Chain A
């Protein structure tokens, strides 16, 4: 016990050293006003309790010393920084160390704290642990009871009035409230967050990841969204470039040109990456800042697109301005939208700057075609006509800015600019483009109300900075980008109020920062409209896109690659595959448009949009059903001796094969967050139950596997599942 307590103290210090800095950084920003969970741990040997707001400490102690520390979960929530609610200021909640019994003690009474602290041989003041309300009446707070074990210095606390009553009635514990409060009430705190249901957890994970594994659903039900997101923000990025580079460079020269390794890497990292939130957002960003392998990038740049997707992943958690910069300077984007080697006007030949990137960076990557209100609705003039964001003159003006950029390398020679063989850096496809001012326009550049005056010494980098700063600060960006990210993760038809809430966070994360991606992602996922599990209107939800459906299957059933490299390729064929494959959009306009309305549909009649419906057709629905039928039963990827490379692990499902209800409910939870309609669920259950399990072991194994195949395939096939709501 002594040893354990020393450990406790040790870890408190070391864990604070590690995580304290992180949390104190957080207190400076938007999360300062959010109460944090306070965990209660029972120490049976002393009947004492340890309280901590440090989830890592809680998790470490209960996992590593299960005989000494017993997790009791979140008892309540308190502020970690000074805060005011309903006009009432929270008061410090002090922590004291009781040296003789090696236990901690807390008090909301500063006088008590000061008195104890003065008795330094017995007590050690440890400062402020958090902030609580001294008196009743602050909305959302509940009484925190304090008790003392008769005749000892052992204290405990609880927000459970029943527990308090039972302990007092036992006669062993005495109430110890603050003067002026009801008996035993020391302070007022926030109750613990309601425990998430498995359905809520699965539904959240379907929005924030490529789909949940059962362990992740279990983990989240015992935690909360906020903690999950914070943990995800801290996870190291699963990268593509290092692995792809190693594989590509190991190949003979003449085989180094294609995208095979990158394609495999995408399937691998999207399905296996522990940084699921980052991977999911990176995939969403790849549909906003589109480059496509079905283009002039298909051959010749085996590493560049890997690096591009890594940049999207990296900047998924940075700032939108950094993202815009990384995209603009990427030579892959430079090739895709022909800004690489773009030259200033040439009076001799009459040629003028290429307008491609100037147009699409405005139309697709930042501000869009129409002036937007913060809620994403289009601004109109007095006559009801939509106000446009730019004219063609703005494009020709901005096109001059994006001149003079080309391949990175050690010098800025004309040969290097043009990509001539004599001056090609071996790493040029993964280096940012650089400025060659001899090819940069020097005349006046006017766009979006900005004028960069003519200057014989014009610098491309300086001009690009002006342009990107201008775009970044345009009021459209928040609603334009925010709404599309909502559409990719949560809902095709977010309410204007939802868009406005997200755009407001884009505009200012609470600490005066514009474009903070982490805050935007958090605002999207934690919005009341995203979290409303009862969503029953047609306005909520979206169609799961085919790529997500496949990866969701891989994750739900822990699919693993025998080879380790996930030998999967382009799955774009609508007749036989998915009608979609990562980074293989047919054009810079993505697989589907954000405002796509399927013609002659109920969706159109309801005046809703459904982007993913643009790749849903008579052909693709059949192609998907046939493809997944094969995937579910035989796996996916290149086959060796008739066995596919990527195989599922159905062991948990096979264990339920004799119980069709349990089997179907598990699959329903994993894939559809429990949202299959009763009709669909019962149809699947009955079909599963109709498979007779025969007697011999071999027959029985086959029959069980057939039940599992059937439960999974019919779920994946159902429109109930394909709707993510």
Chain B
């Protein structure tokens, strides 16, 4: 624990030293200065970032599937027992053909993701190839020689979820969604609605100053005993309020009391605001789709952004169950169908609000998976392919660099575990820049971003 903190601070110090021409300014002072500058910026419009986290690690190999004949044949041969049939694939024709090493290649979605192909064809969806955590650009030779720093605890679920979200393994206390929130919280009349999770605790949304607000798919929950009294008694409201917000002397109970106070305050605002939100009903095929239910609440909150006084919001939603060591060909298509249906539904909700260019949704996941099959599933990998959706996305295009399919090549480190060719920091920086984070503030959000020369991948308008 302590050790991890020390490690990340050391890495931050290195970065800060590289960045700062003046040299050795204390990093924390640098942070504060940066936050101060950002607060002086002002946003007149509204923007929202929505992170869709695919817990368990989505197998990218069966998500964005090699489709040109040569790649498809290698793909099939490489994972005979878990490959998808050509007949089940929906090729994604790009506006701009792939070039360089990727020239001539084409990729396809599995048929369960048909709603995403519709979005792709409409130019609202882009694919980012082989993205994953990196500290610095890394080649196989460097990986093998151990000559560059690598992300900590590769291939471990909980740690890589954290690295994706927070550039540090489990134990990290703030993520890049939260750090973006730090920069913009002052633009919102209620800072509590800056970073919102509809799926429980996630370090992604924790900032240095901004705390994530967690709500359920039905919205916030009122403490009922605070208004109507308890057990038919009318005189108890104040006593209950006093008891539940008195944190005592221990930090655990004080934190709990603070969370309770925040819950009460935020609910007052949000419950009132949501009465004016469209219902965005879930159709019969979506009522059991947990991701759609979460995105429904995101859409409803965005719909009442004016009432809430929100200018910049970050949301976190998730779909669980992607750890397909087993039964992948049964499990993953179901999840893919849910993911695609939920994203399409959300896009429809947002378009109905006529703010599609102001809401960008993107996927993230623990890691990619092995190309090798373990019989009926796949194992933990590293780089993966992801989707970006929204009216401001330069869609119907592939970004990044697709790997060579197969084994014993420079793109993989065994069993087809991909060395990312694009870092999560580059992915995040592109989104953050669109959101309004200045290039000087970017290092506050993404401590390693200066290690990468290309900080904008170009998928946002």
Residues of chain A at the chain B interface (Cβ within 8 Å): 296, 335, 337-338, 341-343, 346, 348-356, 359, 363, 369-370, 377-378, 380, 384-386, 388, 392, 395-396, 492, 536, 538, 541-543, 573-576, 586-587, 589, 593, 595-610, 613-623, 625-626, 629, 633, 677, 679-680, 683-684, 686-687, 690-691, 706, 709-710, 713-714, 717-720, 722-723, 725
Q: Provide the residues of chain B in CB contact with A378, threshold 8 Å.
A: 1-3
Q: B207: CB under 8 A from chain A?
A: yes
Q: Provide the residues of chain A in CB contact with B379, threshold 8 Å.
A: 352, 354-356
Closest A residue to B324 by CB, please name it: A338
Given contacts A683-B239, A714-B243, contact A621 B55 (CB under 8 A): no
Q: B408: CB under 8 A from chain A?
A: no
Q: Provide the residues of chain B in CB contact with A609, threshold 8 Å.
A: 1
Bound-state CA distance A619–B206 (Å) is 16
Q: Provide the residues of chain B in CB contact with A335, threshold 8 Å.
A: 326
CB distance from B400 to the nearest CB of A (A): 24
Assess the B224–A351 pair: CB atoms within 8 A: no
Name the 10 nearest CB pairs between A and B, nearest first: A599-B206, A617-B214, A575-B216, A687-B239, A719-B253, A618-B263, A622-B221, A338-B326, A354-B374, A338-B325
Assess the B1–A386 pair: CB atoms within 8 A: no
Q: Provide the residues of chain A in CB contact with B203, threshold 8 Å.
A: 599
Bound-state CA distance A369–B207 (Å) is 26
Which chain B residues in 259-289 approach chain A with CB under 8 Å?
Answer: 259-260, 262-264, 266-267
Closest B residue to A540 by CB, please name it: B250
Q: Among the listed stretches B102-110, B169-177, B353-361, B429-437, which one makes contact with chain A, having 4 or more residues with CB under 8 Å of it? A: B169-177
Q: Provide the residues of chain A in CB contact with B225, threshold 8 Å.
A: 625-626, 629, 713
Assess the A625–B232 pair: CB atoms within 8 A: no
Given contacts A607-B2, A706-B232, contact A350 B243 (CB under 8 A): no
Assess the B2–A723 pair: CB atoms within 8 A: no
Counting chain A CB atoms within 10 Å of each CB, the highest count among B5, B210, B231, B373 belongs to B231
Assess the A618–B251 pair: CB atoms within 8 A: no
Given contacts A354-B374, A599-B206, A621-B259, contact A587 B7 (CB under 8 A): no
Q: Provide the residues of chain A in CB contact with B320, threshold 8 Å.
A: 586-587
Assess the B55–A354 pair: CB atoms within 8 A: no
Assess the B263–A621 pair: CB atoms within 8 A: yes
15 intermolecular pairs with C-beta atoms under 8 Å apart: A354-B325, A370-B3, A378-B2, A384-B10, A593-B170, A595-B1, A599-B178, A599-B203, A599-B206, A600-B210, A602-B251, A613-B255, A626-B225, A713-B231, A717-B244
Which chain B residues in 287-339 approach chain A with CB under 8 Å?
Answer: 320, 323, 325-327
Q: Provide the residues of chain A in CB contact with B217, threshold 8 Å.
A: 575
Q: Provide the residues of chain A in CB contact with B15, threshold 8 Å.
A: none
Q: B80: CB under 8 A from chain A?
A: yes
The total number of A-B Cβ pairs within 8 Å is 269
Bound-state CA distance A353–B211 (Å) is 42
Q: Provide the residues of chain B in CB contact with A587, threshold 8 Å.
A: 55-56, 157, 320, 323
Which chain B residues in 215-234 approach chain A with CB under 8 Å?
Answer: 215-218, 220-225, 230-233
Given contacts A351-B81, A587-B56, contact A604 B375 (CB under 8 A): no
Closest B residue to A621 by CB, please name it: B260
Q: B401: CB under 8 A from chain A?
A: no
Assess the A618–B214 pair: CB atoms within 8 A: yes
Closest B residue to A724 by CB, please name it: B252
Interface string of B153-178 (1 = CB under 8 A from A): 11111110000000000110110001
Interface string of B90-125 (1 = CB under 8 A from A): 000000000000000000000000000000000000
Closest B residue to A605 by CB, please name it: B251
Closest B residue to A388 by CB, please name it: B153
Which chain B residues in 39-79 approach chain A with CB under 8 Å?
Answer: 55-56, 77-79
Assess the B224–A626 pair: CB atoms within 8 A: yes
Q: Which of A346, A385, A576, A720 contacts B246 (CB 8 A)?
A: A720
Assess the B246–A354 pair: CB atoms within 8 A: no
Q: Which of A350, A575, A626 contacts B79 (CB 8 A)?
A: A350
Assess the A629–B247 pair: CB atoms within 8 A: no
Q: B458: CB under 8 A from chain A?
A: no
Q: Which of A384, A573, A606, A713 contacts B251 (CB 8 A)?
A: A606
Assess the A720–B248 pair: CB atoms within 8 A: yes
Q: Provide the residues of chain A in CB contact with B1, threshold 8 Å.
A: 378, 595, 597, 609
Q: Which of A395, A492, A625, A706 contacts B223 (CB 8 A)?
A: A625
Given contacts A538-B251, A541-B250, A613-B252, contact A342 B259 (CB under 8 A): no
Given contacts A609-B1, A709-B231, contact A589 B158 (CB under 8 A): yes
Given contacts A349-B373, A629-B230, A684-B243, contact A619 B216 (CB under 8 A): yes
Q: Which of A353, A541, A719 contacts B244 (CB 8 A)?
A: A719
Which chain B residues in 1-20 approach chain A with CB under 8 Å?
Answer: 1-7, 10
Assess the B239–A599 pair: CB atoms within 8 A: no
Given contacts A370-B3, A617-B200, A686-B239, contact A353 B374 (CB under 8 A): yes
Q: Provide the residues of chain B in CB contact with A492, threshold 8 Å.
A: 252
Q: B201: CB under 8 A from chain A?
A: yes
Q: Besides the contacts A350-B77, A625-B244, A710-B231, what 17 more A-B pairs have beta carbons closer than 8 Å?
A: A335-B326, A350-B79, A385-B7, A386-B4, A541-B252, A576-B221, A587-B55, A599-B173, A599-B203, A621-B223, A623-B216, A629-B225, A683-B239, A683-B246, A691-B235, A706-B232, A719-B247
Bound-state CA distance A538–B252 (Å) is 8
Q: Provide the residues of chain B in CB contact with A723, threshold 8 Å.
A: 248, 250, 252-253, 256
CB distance from A588 to the nearest CB of B (A): 8
Q: B372: CB under 8 A from chain A?
A: yes
CB distance from A138 to the nearest CB of B (A): 40
Bound-state CA distance A718–B203 (Å) is 27
Bound-state CA distance A343–B326 (Å) is 12
Assess the A610–B252 pair: CB atoms within 8 A: yes
Assess the A719–B222 pair: CB atoms within 8 A: no
Q: Provide the residues of chain A in CB contact with B178, threshold 8 Å.
A: 599
Given contacts A717-B244, A722-B256, contact A296 B327 (CB under 8 A): yes
